[in-house]
Amino acid sequence: MASARRRNNETSLDECQSSSKLPRNDKSHIAALILARGGSKGIPLKNIKMLAGVPLIGWVLRAAVDSGMFDSVWVSTDHDKIEEVAKAWGAQVHRRSPKVSRDFSSSVETIQEFLEHHKEVDIVCHFQATSPCLHPFHVKEALEKITVHGYDSVFAVVRRHQFRWKEVEKGSGEQTVPFNLEPAKRPRRQDWPGELCENGSFYFAKKEIIEKEGHLQGGKLTYYEMLPEYSVDIDVDIDWPVAEQRVLRYGYFGKVTPEVVRLMFCNISGCLTDGKIFMSVSGEAMVSVNTRDTTGLRMLQEEQVEVILLTTEKDPIDPALLKKLEDRIKCKVEKVGKEPLNDLQSIVEKKKLEWKDVAFMGFDQADVKCLNLAGLSAVPDDAPAVAKKAAKYICRPAGGSGAVREFTEHILLQKQMAKSQREQDRIDRHNF
């Protein structure tokens, strides 16, 4: 159970950097493989649905790629959109045949077809796209059970403390019996180690096991235990809100330390407002601002994050309205040109900051450069595709409807995660 005993956000920067392409004694080609069929019956295109600002499959791909343990990383799919997302997140794509794309096609059949087309692969590491709390250290430690300790296959488990009972047919009069419990000697939770259950996160196996035995759990077999907080499996839509909260707390956000933002730029039109201008009979212009969004900005300010609102020369918002907005939120409003980066770069430099210290919330093509540069960046859900592709986080609400609030909460969570990680690193150095 030692491999499971890790604290929240325990993948430190040093660990991630040291994991890049670890040397191996053998010449085996190790491939990561995610199966992502387009025809999900539960949630349409579930594998690329946005989860906490990232496509579901992106969470697993990021952990697999950043582990540095693979000679190749693949997504097997039959869908063009999934192929596009997979490539954007660093994977190669195997276009599976219709034969293994049916509702009743098994994972093993699909993996066997993959191996027929990629004979160079010696070890297949099959990850479930529906397990978004995977970290690189999980991958590394589990795979070493094969590459270092000589096992033929390994799969992920989680420890459960649940008493199981025999199911009986309704109305049969049959008496139920316990499977793993003596009712007269019912143990306390702390006195019972529980049971190991598959959590579905991953299954690793040597090629000959898959080809000869026809499954992923054969030969010299072992398991890798994961903590319950990392064991998220999305099966039905009702799990989605729960999974989002879990992944924001326990997900893997990349090799770098979570960003600690000191300055936030936020577009007014399209982000803080929905872009609409209301005109009164007398010709007075009005805009609608969501109080959840303004509250979110004040939350940032209370955490010593400076907020600067952005408007453009072509923005139809009346200067008097901008002044009222500036006074209400207690922050500056800056006017930017066609290329916002040209104006914002000088502000960042003047404040002696780097772009990694900056959060940027944009909406359109003109914002792409800033979205790419900023340590944290986001767009509302109704932003055009070009802006969504550049953003590191995609909010669920549209502009003017709570998107800014969601992004500010994400920024504050990253700040909390960074603080927790620094404290854990300090403890680790002290213990070492």
β-bridge pairing 332-336 and 278-279 = unpaired
Dihedral pair phi/psi, residue 38, rounded to 5° = -80, -20
Q: How many residues does the chain have?
A: 432
Vertex 217, ends 211 and 221: CA angle to 5°? 120
Q: For 402, left (φ over 0), alpha (ψ -120 to 50), or beta? A: left
Q: Residues near 389 by Cβ (< 8 Å), separated by ≥ 6?
A: 88
The residue from 186, 262, 292, 422 that is catalytic is 186
Report the C-alpha gap between 203 and 200 in whole angstroms: 8
Residue 397 dihedral angles phi and psi, to the nearest 5°: -75, 160
Query: What kind and span of H or E run contains 154?
Result: strand 153-160
CB within 8 Å of 305: residues ≥ 6 apart? 261, 262, 263, 264, 359, 411
Question: What's the rounded Cα separation, in Å, for the pair 116 and 100?
Answer: 13
Query: How many CB atoms are closer than 10 A to CB 391?
Result: 25
186 noted as active-site residue: yes
Distance separating alpha carbons of residues 101 and 77, to the nearest angstrom: 8
Task: Give which of 149, 290, 133, 303 is closest to 202, Cα–Cα.
Answer: 133
Distance of CA 133 to the CA centre of its chain: 7
* Residues acting as catalytic residues: 186
